[in-house]
Amino acid sequence: MVAAGVNFGFAGPASGGQLVREIGQTLIHDAEGTSWATQPVPRTGCPPGPSGVDLAEEIAELKRERNAVILAHNYQVPELQDIADYVGDSLGLSYQAAQTNADVILFCGVHFMAETAKILNPTKKVLLPDLEAGCSLSESCPPEKLKAFLDAHAEKNYYVIAYINCSAGVKALADVICTSGNAEKIVRSAPAGRNVLFVPDQNLGAWVRERTGRAMDLWQGNCYIHVEFTARSINNIREQYPNAPVVAHPECTYAVRMLADEVCSTEKMVAFSRQTPAREIIVVTEAGMLHRLKKEVPGKLFIPGPTDNCFCGECRFMKMNTLEKAHAALLNMAPEIILPEAIRKRAEAPILRMLELSKK
């Protein structure tokens, strides 16, 4: 069964209505986590500085002053990956956020990632260099639509598994969270006999359903980047590099996953690339991943998976964060992630459940 039968195609944060804000304001969820208000933040921004100012060095200095930690996702621009204390996938970043002793977390990633860090650290300041850094997948499952669907199908008594790429409002409605790195384990741990609803990514959901054999209803959301890769584009690149294995993210479509030698999270792509004897590897995910791979697995050739059009494979939300904005965030201690306690608390339980189950 297909959940929510509605085509929740991509509507960017501004058009989706959930992330609308004026420049210089901080987003705040309402008590239900479904709409937003704003609060002013200082507008000083990052002083351009005379040429020769080393932003990376200034960030390191600010980091010491603030007792801050910098966490960055694998898709961030190279300059941000290079100044981060930790670079990784959503799962690794969640563990880092859960165990940090820092007072401030500068999260170089997208909104739902920084929000997850805040859910786990209510007393710490969590900064996101650009609050507009949303996610098409998260937008495809607004909490009020999920709530309406669950109410309309109350007889199913769904066990809701939410991929971490969703808002705090959706996490608050879930029984457990998963990432691409632990989805199989989390789905296998779902109570027997319960109907399972997997939100919001239909491709990750279908992949994990194939691997586990567990029946699940899937929310019809997707990532606007990963659905751009096609069987034709992958077959074409394979012809050019016949000895290169294809490693693809599970957010890719079925046709692309079927052509891949390995389907895994971004972190597991690093491990796969290290361990394969192949010298050339075709990487089918967001383009930022190549920086991490080149850095950690030197001497191999990483070929970005192409699409059928001029699309560059860069997530425009991930790329909203820059070194300048990261500097401004630490300088101004804004923009900050703020959540109502009721939503935070409800969203925390399924994340903690995931962290616990994932360790086993």
Is 105 or 133 the residue whose CB approaches ligand 13P more closely? 133
277-316 binders of ligand 13P (CB under 6 A)? 286
Among 24-32, 61-69, 174-182, 207-215, the segment contacting ligand 13P (CB under 6 A):
174-182
Enumerate binding residues for ligand SF4 (CB under 6 A): 110, 135-137, 165, 223-225, 286, 315, 317-318
For residue 201, give the amino acid letter. Answer: D
Q: Which residues pair with 29 in a beta bridge?
A: 36
Give one word for 130, left, alpha or beta, with left for phi > 0 and alpha for psi -120 to 50.
beta
Tell me the backbone φ, ψ of residue 150, rounded to 5 degrees. -65, -40
Q: Does 166 bind ligand 13P (CB under 6 A)?
A: no
Handedness of CA 270, 272, 276, 279 (dihedral sign): negative
Is 287 or 333 the residue whose CB approaches ligand SF4 more closely? 287
| Residue 316 contacts residue 299 (beta carbons within 8 Å) | no
Q: Which residue has the tokens 């005379």?
A: 50
Instruction: List the one residue from 116, 136, 140, 165 that touches ligand 13P (CB under 6 A).
Output: 165
| Burial (CB count <10 Å: 0-12, 13-18, 19+), residue 315 | buried
Q: Does 167 bind ligand 13P (CB under 6 A)?
A: no
Q: From the list ligand SF4, ligand 13P, none, which binds 266 (C-beta under 5 to 8 Å, kind-based)?
A: ligand 13P
Instruction: List the one residue from 18, 34, 90, 138 that touches ligand 13P (CB under 6 A).
Output: 90
**H-type helices in the chain, by residue range?**
13-16, 55-66, 78-83, 90-99, 111-120, 136-139, 143-152, 168-171, 183-188, 202-212, 231-240, 254-259, 266-275, 289-296, 323-332, 341-359
Is 121 or 165 the residue whose CB approaches ligand 13P more closely? 165
- Sort strands 176-178 and 159-163 into parallel, antiparallel or unpaired: parallel
Q: Does 133 bind ligand 13P (CB under 6 A)?
A: no
Task: For residue 312, give the DSSP letter.
Answer: -
Instruction: List the one residue from 116, 179, 202, 273 that touches ligand 13P (CB under 6 A).
Output: 179
Q: Does 358 bind ligand 13P (CB under 6 A)?
A: no
Q: From the list ligand SF4, ligand 13P, none, which binds 224 (C-beta under 5 to 8 Å, kind-based)?
A: ligand SF4
Is 102 or 233 the residue whose CB approaches ligand SF4 more closely? 233
188-247 binders of ligand 13P (CB under 6 A)? 223
> How big is the chain by its Cα radius of gyration, in Å?
20
Question: Using CA atoms, how far apart are residues 47 and 308, in angstroms rounded to an integer?
Answer: 41
Instruction: List the one residue from 115, 139, 217, 251 that touches ligand 13P (CB under 6 A).
Output: 251
Among 7-15, 16-24, 176-184, 185-193, the segment contacting ligand 13P (CB under 6 A):
176-184
Is 118 or 249 the residue whose CB approaches ligand 13P more closely? 249
Residues that bind ligand 13P (CB under 6 A): 74, 89-90, 165, 179-181, 223, 249, 251, 265-266, 286
